[in-house]
Amino acid sequence: MLPTPDTQKTASSLDQGARRRTRLREFQAQLVERMQAARSGADAHVNQLGVQIGNSRWLVSLQHAGEIVPVGTITRVPLTQDWFLGVTNIRGKLVTVVDLARYHGEPATSVDKDSRILAFAPSLGFNGGLLVSRVLGLRNMAQMQESPDAPPPGLDWAAARYIDHEDLVWNQLDLSLAIHDPRFLHVGI
């Protein structure tokens, strides 16, 4: 029996989806390898992880960044701030998840196929993670200029501001400041 045009279209769509998933897995594996190499090498301070949180671009030190995982089930915790999304399980550890855009007074981050949870590095001693709109890959700080402008008020934990070769503005996120911020640590209402 010969395949019909409808079954050929369905098979083609399945093949495209499988190829897309394979490319995504390959990209994620390459990013993890590059992060591990950069973390262990002398250029750990030169390369930083670029992420989008809300409408802003952020740079995160590889020494502060832990795992990057797709957004799975997040269990809400009653009587908490609206920016505190709840807890999720990452490889057997309960991790709190915060919507940093919402924390800064922006609209809540919508979860879609590009959204990820960026876990804090184990060296920070804090089982937390941030909901990011998308991971933008490693950024070479040597190719950026520090902006003379300070980060806007209210952008807690923004250590500095940079401009890349495309004139895009990046805020440097210092996660070590977060774990000492009383507002961030007090999630109850």
pLDDT, average across residues 16-45: 67
Residue 3: phi, psi to the nearest 5?
A: -70, 145
pLDDT at 111 over 90: yes
For tokens 């949180």, name the residue: 53
Residue 181: phi, psi to the nearest 5?
A: -90, 115
- C-alpha–C-alpha distance, residues 62 and 59, integer Å: 9
Choose the most confident range, by mean pLDDT, from 6-20, 34-48, 65-79: 65-79
Structure tokens at 140: 């070479």
pLDDT at 124 over 70: yes
pLDDT at 61 over 80: yes
Contact 181, 157 (CB under 8 A): yes
Within 13 Å, how many C-alpha atoms sit on residue 180's CB side? 6
pLDDT classification of 36: cutoffs 50, 70, 90: low
pLDDT at 97 over 80: yes
More confident residue, 152 or 96: 96
* Amino acid 81: pLDDT: 97
pLDDT at 107 over 60: yes
* Amino acid 152: pLDDT: 76
Neighbours of 177 (CB within 10 A): 14
Cα angle, residue 79 at apex, residues 74 and 83 outer, rounded to 5° = 55
pLDDT at 163 over 80: yes
Structure tokens at 18: 């499988």
* Amino acid 102: pLDDT: 95
What mean pLDDT value characterizes the chain?
87
Q: Find all residues with CB under 8 Å of 11, minimum gap 6, and list them.
A: 3
Structure tokens at 124: 């920070």
- Domain range list for the chain: 44-185
pLDDT classification of 155: cutoffs 50, 70, 90: confident
pLDDT, average across residues 155-162: 87
> Does domain 44-185 fall into CATH 1.10.287.3510?
no
